[in-house]
Amino acid sequence: MKELYLMRHAQTLFNVQGRTQGWSDSPLTQKGIEDALKAGERLRAKQLCFDAFYSSTQERASDTLELLFPNQEYGRLKKVLKK
């Protein structure tokens, strides 16, 4: 059986300020960066095998993915269409 892992982006400046981001893109905070690095360590320690990696087109999402899995190729999706 296939498994799908979903993860929200790490903490951003707008998150701290209580602002809605929508399509705006605020940078990750230092805490967000540290949290993403720790999460990446925990995921790698589990030795899970992933077939593919995807991120939204928002920089906060792709920045988080790059911290979780450095040097990993991934696709950036604007939207997912149901078949």
Query: Are residues 32 and 7 in contact, defined by beta-carbon separation less than 8 angstroms?
Result: no
Pick out the residues of the known binding site for substrate. Answer: 8-15, 60
Pick out the residues of the known binding site. Answer: 8-15, 60
DSSP-assigned beta bridge partners for residue 12: 28
CA dist 59 → 3, 11, 18 (Å): 25, 12, 19
Question: CA 29 to CA 67: how far, in whole Å?
Answer: 13
